[in-house]
């Protein structure tokens, strides 16, 4: 992670940090990927070159795969002009920790109300 803290919602942080097979590498950004050919000639990822955002030092993390996650963007563009209240990150604002929005009879759940 490029910082020394996570910006995700508390629930998302807890989900991630509770995974036994997940480890946070703080203050790191991906500089490069390393690969090699397998026995069939297919190119396979073998490592990720990481740069420390504080010290500038680089290191290589050996891997057998890569998942790219760039954050969450709620799909609420269609709500523009509807009167439904959105926060600064474009998530639907819910009333009193329920699924109710500011518009009577309209409810939201899932990724748009994270």
The values of phi and psi at residue 11, to 5°, are: -60, -45
Q: What is the pLDDT of residues 75-89, one digit of tens each?
A: 899 999 999 999 998
pLDDT at residue 60 tops 80: yes
Token pair of 24, please?
A: 């946070």
- Show the domains of the chain with their CATH numbers: 10-62 (3.50.50.60), 73-114 (no CATH)
pLDDT at residue 50 tops 80: yes
Q: Looking at residue 13, what is its pLDDT?
A: 84
Task: Count the Cβ atoms, other than its own, within 10 Å of residue 101.
Answer: 21
HSE-up of residue 50 (Cα within 13 Å, Cβ side): 19
Q: Is 20 helix (H, G, I), strand (E, B) or coil?
A: coil
Q: What is the pTM of this model?
A: 0.56
How many angstroms separate the CA atoms of 27 and 33, rounded?
A: 18
Q: Looking at residue 71, what is its pLDDT?
A: 67
Q: Looking at residue 114, what is its pLDDT?
A: 61
The sign of the CA dihedral 93, 97, 102, 105 is: positive
Among 18-22, 46-50, 64-68, 76-80, top mean pLDDT goes to 46-50
Tell me the mean pLDDT in the region 6-11: 81
Tell me the mean pLDDT in the region 81-102: 92
């Amino acid at each position: 992670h490029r910082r020394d803290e996570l910006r995700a919602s508390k629930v998302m942080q807890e989900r991630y940090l509770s995974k036994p097979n997940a480890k946070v590498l703080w203050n790191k950004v991906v500089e490069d990927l390393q690969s090699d050919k397998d026995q069939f000639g297919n190119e396979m990822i073998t490592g990720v070159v990481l740069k420390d955002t504080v010290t500038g030092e680089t290191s290589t993390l050996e891997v057998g795969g890569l998942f790219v996650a760039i954050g969450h963007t709620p799909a609420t563009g269609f709500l523009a002009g509807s009167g439904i209240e959105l926060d600064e990150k474009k998530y639907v604002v819910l009333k009193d920790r329920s699924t109710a929005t500011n518009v009577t009879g309209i409810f939201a759940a899932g990724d748009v109300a994270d």
